[in-house]
Amino acid sequence: MSVIFKEKHYDQLSILLKNIAVIIIVLVILLTGFNFFFKNKNKVLSSSLESLNREELKYQVLIDNSKNRHSQIAADKYFDLLIKLAQYAENIALSSIYAKDKKINLNAVSMNQKNIFELIKNLKTDQKFSDVKLLNISHRDNYYFQLELTILNRGVEK
């Protein structure tokens, strides 16, 4: 009877080993399939990432170009204002012009005080400047003066 028991035990053990081997083989096949699937998915996603990076670079260049155009337009508007300012400043020598944000500070020299007040009057009547202030005026051999001009929003947009 002990021989039959050993054979039964051996048969059960061999069946158990066969089942474990089948399970291991199925797991290896499944893991190989998952590995193959994820490798292909990784390749697809990496190529998609590369194309997205190229698109991002293209749009970044477009954004930079539009910023440059916007700053160029603002600079052109400042130049237009300076040309207008120079047209008003007859018989006045502009020694320095400093523009920051919405203000323009200007130092100039004139032979005649009347020219200075005519310039201020013309600038006040111009619709591009909201405020014109005479900061300083002095007289040595000529009249030296400083003006501060505030630009309207529609005059120059930064």
Q: Which residues of 35-53 are buried (b: 16+ CB within 10 A; e: fewer)?
A: eeeeeeeeeeeeeeeeeee
* Predicted local distance difference test score (pLDDT) of residue 157: 45
Q: Please determine, for residue 21, whether its predicted confidence score (pLDDT) is greater than 50.
A: yes
Q: Please determine, for residue 105, whether its predicted confidence score (pLDDT) is greater than 70.
A: yes
d(CA 121, CA 92): 14
Could you list the residue range(s) of the whole structural domain that residue 120 is in?
Answer: 1-158
CATH of the domain at 67: 3.30.1360.100
Element containing residue 147 per DSSP (H, E): strand 143-151
DSSP string for 79-118: HHHHHHHHHH-TTEEEEEEEEETTEEEEEEEES-HHHHHH
CB 102 within 8 A of CB 151: yes
* Predicted local distance difference test score (pLDDT) of residue 48: 93
pLDDT confidence band for 9 (50 / 70 / 90): low
Q: What is the tally of structural domains in the chain?
A: 1
Q: Please determine, for residue 64, whether its predicted confidence score (pLDDT) is greater than 80.
A: yes
What is this structure's pTM?
Answer: 0.50
